[in-house]
Amino acid sequence: MVVSSFDEIRQRGVDIVEDFARKAKVSFSITANKNSSLSGNSTYLGLRLTEIGLDPDHIQDILDRVDGTSPFLPTKDEARAFLAHFADANERLARDWGLEFDMSFDRYPESADHRWSNADVDAMLNALLAELKKNKNPS
């Protein structure tokens, strides 16, 4: 088994799946769909719609209509608390495999400061209203 650090893989310009495939001499068919995270606005909107009990299928339809790449980082304290759940596993990885993780939280804000532009709010409202209209008048 050969363990590679993520930074080394990233420097080669590939992701971990491509790196594994090359090393294992396996060929994968890459599709246009990629597993990408939601924007901050979409994440927040999805959580709020879930809180009010909207059907998950409707939520996904709404989120599919929302564009944007707004940042939505947790605070430094929230990020530290989340990482703490993995402390034992990360310690074992460091000890057994020599993998070190960046434990700096410099990129995270001290406090939550989520500001949306009018365009962001319009996009979310338009997506929500379009879904509501579609369900009121199904074709």
pLDDT digits (tens, 9 = 90+) for 110-125: 887 666 677 777 777 8
Between 37 and 128, the higher pLDDT residue: 128
Tokens 């709020």 locate to 48
What the block records as the tokens of 60 is: 């996904």
Task: Tell me: pLDDT of 46 over 80.
Answer: yes
pLDDT tops 70 at residue 35:
no
Cβ atoms of 68 and 95 closer than 8 Å: no
**Which pLDDT score is estimated for 137?**
62
Q: What pLDDT sits at residue 67? A: 66
Confidence of residue 70 (pLDDT cuts 50, 70, 90): low
Closest CA relative to residue 8, chosen from 24, 34, 25, 16? 16
Q: 36: part of which helix (H) or strand (E)?
A: none
Q: Closest Cα to residue 62, out of 111, 128, 119?
A: 128
